[in-house]
Structure 1
Amino acid sequence: MKTKNWRVIPAVIAAGILSFSGVLIETSMNVTFPKLMSEFSTNANGVQWVTTGYLLAIAIIVPISAFLIRNFSTKELFILSNFLFLFGTVLDSFSPSLTLLLVGRILQGIGTGIALPLMFHIILTKSPIKSRGMMMGIGSMITSLAPAIGPTYGGVLLNTLGWRSIFWFLIILILISLVIGLNSIPSEKVQRTEKFPFKTFIFLGLGLSFVLLSIEKMSLLMAIIGFFSLVIFYIINQKQKLLQLTLFQNNRFNFYMYGFLAYQAILLGLSFILPNYLQLNLHVSAAAAGAFMFPGALISAVLAPVSGSLLDRIGQYRPILLGLVISTVALSLMFLYFPRLNFWTLMLSHMLLMVGIGLSYANLMTVTLATLPANETADGNSILNTTQQFVGATATAIVAQVITTAMHKNPVNGMIIGSKQGIGGLTILIMISLILFIAVNRHRK
């Protein structure tokens, strides 16, 4: 864990704190949506861009992470991501309009988009193979703690000092990350030999952006523009590579990645549905809605390194299978009994779900990357993080659209109907994930 120049664990923690800050600010802002809708005179579709715009920025930046890692030193990338995130946070701390708030969120997304793959790159290249599962678990625990703290942090500050104070206190955390990183990540010379595939990057960004906009605006034209932009990206990418798309020829990589992405959709979808449902339908305070998410997210964070150690010792099958089964049961119960669940029974079902996520989420990322040879790990990491953030943004946009549509059709019970429909869709995703995991491992046996 320590070489002549590198101090691996502090380096992972430094990059992890920045990633943690990104997830913290994302989940803590979810409890502010009713307040933001009122203050900026917008609806659920408009305010969801506070999260969706941030995740879209990450999804667009992450694809170039493999290029950045090959052509710039780890220290240079860490400093860049830190300063971008810091500037965006300062901007959001006094933003008088939704537009300026979104600009700051996009800058934070760019910083997080560099920091997230950088943290896992440090783990995958600097930690010993025998401890890799545990280290991946620690990396996931760092970022998983943020959803545990975020809603409570956001709810308490919203009720006491106002939503802008959520950004004020984050500045201290970013500066701590910078100090630790500067002292643990050495300066290394990296020879820049590649030309940046600018056209490929532009068409990927356009494709992802228009797909999300088509969901929010319910626009067929935007969907067509997004589709053709992605087709052009695919063609250009064959000559000017940004993402190594040949990795999708590996079926085991695809199946394991699906399970990982299904969890991402569940986490981001529920982080939008539940705090808003609690405030708008059960009429609890923002602080209570934030505290609701805390026990489950804390369970998931604590279990992440434990499940990583289990993977190192007994293999991948049993911890991941157990986690998928528990998650499927929990989401099914939440869906079937949703209208009848009160604050506490809904919290219990969420806690059970997070037990399953804690046992399998980080391990699915580990085994997905483990299906690739060492020379493809950076590209696999880039693809995984890109699709992870885009799926999170898409899930948020879809559940926001489902809830908004239901509330327009039925102003009285629309929140209940839309929330249940969203949870039903997420339940189907985890069921498919469980079936695929069992099928691919039976085939291996």
Structure 2
Amino acid sequence: MNSQPETISNKTIAAIVATGLMSFCGVIVETSMNIAFPKLMHQFGVTTNIVQWMTSIYLLIVAIIVPLSAILKAKFKTKTLFITAISLFICGVVIDSTAPSFWVLLLGRAIQGIGTGISLPLMFNIIMEQIPKSKLGMMMGFGNLITGIAPAIGPTLGGIITTSLGWRWIFIILLPFLLISLFLGIWGIQQKSPLRQVSLDFISCILIAITFSGMVYGFSNLSAVSVMSWQVGGAILMGLIAMVLLIIRSLHLETPILDFRLFTNHRFAGHVLIFFLTQMCSLGFAFLLPNYIQLVNGNTALTAGLVVMPAGIGGAIFAPIGGRLLDKLGPRKPVMTGAGLMALSIIIFTTITLRMSNQSIMFVYIFYMVGMGCMMGTIMTSALASLPHHQQTQGNAFLNTLQQFAGSLGTSLTAMIVALSQRGGSGANATAIGTQHAFIMLFIFVVMILITIWRVVPKSLRQK
């Protein structure tokens, strides 16, 4: 990495906060709107599988745009990308706050997805480029805090706003934050890396779109339709074929959109696996626990949001703490500690699933999220530090892309397991049994995480 002064300038901090605030707004909308789905279904006369596209279209667009981040960063100034991204996001928010129909609402969400897809990698690129090595872990943790606290407060905020003001205010209330982000970004974002002339391979773009369209669509239907149907099996097969073709094409291009040669670095590949499985577990939890609180314990969506909120806040707070531990102790200790807390929490949840009170859910989930908070930023930092500096933008593109897909996959798999149990039985007990089975799957993932950590995460951070 380039030599840097040990102090962090005010402009660099402003740039990180600006890009982080925009990502924060993107996650807030996603998690808050889930609570408003019943009202949207009633107001616009759409079914459950249609209203889910409020989330699916957003995640799909983000997953398609994020892989382009390395090319975009090479061709365009960082400030130009940021202003374009936030302008699109503000446009999408205005459209959604005034949408006369559900399809206009979806259009707004798609435009927001383009903005988020452009901006999401910017914050971590700025951190890796402009933060001194001695403070890298802490600032990566701070970046994860900004985006990590959004899922914690999103469901509760969505419940309060929808109940008291109406769902349109979920979008309206974001506008002041987006304007603050815009002004901070215009003032603070600086160009530190030289621009390069790189060509955009349109065949790769098409293959990326087919890959994620097939995967997201297929897995989103997993809990409702047979695996052998074209909506699930056919869509996933189409996505897999496109992904294989994308890999083959990328290996023959000098400057591919996604450079799969990075995975010949076994340390980076192992970190990516840890990151992917951790994200799957976390989004699986985000689906399982609120549904358990509502369907098994018989509480409202607002109560469910309040029960899980302390854990989300705890996880966000421990993100910079985990980063600080990385700076002092190296990556392995905070990562092993975090994974250990995750494993212990899942064991407890699996044991008590059939009789969980809201209080026990709140308490045990705090331990899980604290562990996850310690891990995520540390794993990202250690993964990118395992690459040469000129490959870190590509590595960041992979991590941000897989984060979106892992969330969709984790939610879909846990939803499928619970749905299978509900079909075999009825009432709260069937949901509880399905939740227990899903916890067993998540525990297997955590065991895989622990084994991989032991094999690939170094004791000290060595940047190339």
- 1:236 matched to 2:240? The reply is no
- Aligned equivalent of 1:205, options 203, 209, 225: 209
Cα drift, residue 34 of structure 1: 4.5
Q: Are 1:399 and 2:414 counterparts?
A: yes
| Contact 2:267–2:457 (CA under 8 A) maintained in structure 1 | no
Partner of 1:137: 141
Is 1:390 aligned to residue 405 of structure 2?
A: yes
| Corresponding residue of 2:239 | 226
Return the alpha-carbon distance in structure 1 between the equivalents of residues 402 and 16 of structure 2.
Answer: 22
The one-letter amino acid paired with 2:248 is I
Shift of 1:424: 2.8
Contact 2:296 2:431 in 1 (8 A): yes
Residue in structure 1 matching 2:186, options 182, 187, 191: 182
Give per-residue Cα distances to partners, 1:221-245, cap 9 Å, x unaligned: 2222222211222222233411110
What TM-score, normalized to structure 2? 0.89
Aligned to 2:435: 419
Say if 2:36 is the partner of 1:23: no
Partner Cα distance (1:360, 1:87) in 2: 35
Secondary structure at the residue paired with 1:282?
coil
Alpha-carbon distance change, 329 to 47 in structure 1, aligned in 2, over 3 angstroms: farther
Q: CA 1:38/1:289 → structure 2, altered by over 3 Å: closer, same or farther? A: farther
Distance (whole Å) between structure 2 residues aligned to residue 37 and residue 397 of structure 1: 21
> Would you say 1:168 and 2:172 are equivalent positions?
yes
Separation (CA, whole Å) in 2 of partners of 1:92 and 1:105: 7
1:51 to 55, 79, 84: 55
Q: 1:188 to 1:135 in 2, by over 3 A?
A: closer
| Aligned mates of 1:68, 1:211 — CA distance in 2 | 24
**What TM-score results when the alignment is normalised by the length of structure 1?**
0.92
**Residue type of the alignment partner of 1:91:** I
The answer to whether 1:298 aligns with 2:302 is: no
Aligned to 2:157: 153
1:364 is matched with: 379
1:90-144 superposed Cα distances (whole Å, 9 cap, x missing partner): 2222335444333322222221111121000000001111111111111111111
What's the counterpart of residue 436 of structure 1?
452
Contact map agreement 2:331 2:458 (CA 8 A) in 1: no
Say if 1:147 and 1:293, in contact at 8 Å, map to a contact too. no
Q: Read off the aligned partner of 2:305 and give its amino acid letter.
A: G
Structure 1 pair 271–443 and aligned structure 2 pair: CA distance change class (3 A): closer
| 1:73-84 to 2 correspondences below 5 Å | 73-84=77-88
Letter in 2 for 1:84: L
Match among 345, 351, 354 for residue 339 of structure 1: 354
Deviation sequence 1:412-438 (CA, Å, 0-9, x none): 244334433333322221121012212
Whether the 8 Å CA contact 1:73–1:188 is kept in 2: the answer is: no
Matched, 1:267 2:282: yes
Q: How many residue pairs align between the two structures?
A: 444
Structure 1 residues 131, 189: CA separation in 2 closer, same or farther (over 3 Å shift)? Answer: closer
Q: Residues 163 and 11 (structure 1 numbering): CA distance in 2 closer, same or farther, change over 3 Å?
A: same
Aligned partners of 1:48 and 1:400 also within 8 Å: no
Q: RMSD of the TM alignment (CA)?
A: 2.5
Counterparts in 2 of 1:428 and 1:96: CA distance versus 1, 3 Å: farther
8 A Cα contact 1:156 1:286, kept in partner: no
Inter-partner Cα distance in structure 2 for 1:71 and 1:333: 50
Cα distance change, pair 46–271 in 1 and its aligned pair in 2 (3 A): farther
Which residue in the other structure is 2:76 paired with? 72
Matched-pair identity in %: 38
- After TM superposition, give the deviation of residue 191 of structure 1 in Å: 4.4
- 1:302 and 1:355 map into 2 onto residues whose CA distance is 8
